[in-house]
Chain A
Amino acid sequence: MGKQKSAITREFIKGLWDENPVLISLLGLCPALAVTNSAINGLAMGLATTFVVVCSSIIISSLRKVIPHQVRIASYIVIIATFVTVADRFMAAFYPAISKALGPYVPLIVVNCLILGRQEAFASKNNVGRSLLDALGMGLGFLMVLFTLGTIREVLGSGTFLTYQVMGDWFQPWLVMVLPPGAFIMLGLLIGLSNWINDRRAKA
């Protein structure tokens, strides 16, 4: 019983670190690089992606025996695109400022390989409960990395955190951090850090 329980929790935990979509699988790098110039953008993109991956996984795992193998990818894309559009309209209706800041990257969640990857690799082969936990873990793992990346880039690049001034007047913002090169540099350093930690853990 205890062993089975830990196997189920693992479906959730693995997305946070061991199989983190950004740090380990290097999936969904386009939004991770493009929208993380501020913490709030990273958070909003992470939440939208989590919503889409969780909803799609629930629907697709419950339909896994109904959808014929030959048209599975087409079916997945329609289901994912439906939830992406729902999320996009929701943001435009209730959070217009964030929706404007994220621009085309919300509709582009459709082509985030993290989401299609989870459907193909997991939800199409597992029951609803496991798929839900897997999707939740992956979504939150994605969100964590985007929020961390957004926080570091915003603090160093604008001297603010969630638009509150956190650096004193002496601080000269590092412009490069809010520009695309800053995204590449910071993401590289984060992936390097996670590899270093994993190496040390493996040796210990």
Chain B
Amino acid sequence: MSTSARMIVVLTLIVTVSGGVLSSWDSYTAPKIQHHRLVELRAAIADVLPEHDRYDELALPAQTLYVGRKATGEPVGIAFIAKGSGFQGVISIMVGVEMDFTRLTGIKVLEQIETPGLGTKIVTDPTNKANPLWFPEQFVGVRPEPEITVIKNRPPTTETEIQAITGATITSRAVVKIINDALKQAQIEYQSSLGKKVS
């Protein structure tokens, strides 16, 4: 066999075997990976809509909303994933809000690559032994109208204020901006989808 023919045959064989191995391995692992994603999603929705017993997915053109309901079917709130830029990369947050978009019921940061020890306090703050979750828990009950604002070095005095993390002002502001933007979009989309159903 000439060298070029051998090159083609050997390389083709290696690639074919590799493709076969990978596709069978993928069909074995893909359902497990999918399952982990679903578990994570459910846990995040449970965190931000504590009162819900089950949820329906509402696939809208720009995003998917999760409508949390009690066992009786009564809706208790809406959860959705908000994404945007943080200090170093994309931050994605599960946001829970009441049905009429007047109060947040909770937030949970799903993904972030902020500065360890500073920006990562948006997830947990190990330096605050009494309540490591003080930052995300501030959002419970916050009013997003007209918008959530960030304040520094003093506790919040109104229902729209969030106290920034010391040393991570940019990250704190980014979280609030991501939530503000996503909330407005979700509200517009949700309400227009209701309008469509009625007409």
* A interface, CB within 8 angstroms of B: 37, 63, 66-68, 70-71, 74-75, 78-79, 81-82, 85-86, 89-90, 92-94, 96, 103, 157-158, 173, 175, 178-179
User: What's the nearest-Cβ distance from chain A to residue B160, in Å?
Assistant: 32
Is B71 at the interface (CB under 8 A from chain A)?
no
**A175 close to B3 (CB less than 8 A):** no
CA separation between A66 and B116, bound complex, in Å?
Answer: 49
0 or 1 for each of B79-91: is its CB under 8 Å from A? (1 = yes)? 0000000000000
Nearest CB to that of B31 among chain A residues?
A: A93
Interface size, chain B (Cβ < 8 Å): 24
Provide a sorted-by-A list of 12 A–B residue pairs whose CB atoms are within 8 angstroms: A68-B10, A71-B7, A74-B11, A78-B14, A82-B18, A89-B29, A89-B33, A92-B29, A92-B33, A93-B29, A94-B32, A175-B118
Nearest CB to that of B17 among chain A residues?
A: A82
Instruction: Say whether chain B's binding surface is mostly helix, strand, loop, or mixed.
Output: helix
Contacts of A85 in B (CB 8 A): 22, 25
- Beyond contacts A68-B6, A178-B117, A179-B116: 17 other A-B pairs, Cβ-Cβ < 8 A, are A37-B116, A63-B14, A66-B10, A68-B3, A70-B3, A71-B7, A71-B11, A75-B10, A78-B15, A79-B14, A89-B26, A92-B29, A92-B33, A93-B28, A96-B40, A175-B116, A179-B117
Contacts of A67 in B (CB 8 A): 10, 14
Contacts of B21 in A (CB 8 A): 82, 86
CA separation between A179 and B40, bound complex, in Å?
Answer: 27
Report, nearest first, the 9 A-B pairs whose CB atoms are least far apart.
A93-B32, A93-B29, A82-B18, A89-B29, A96-B36, A175-B117, A178-B116, A71-B7, A68-B7
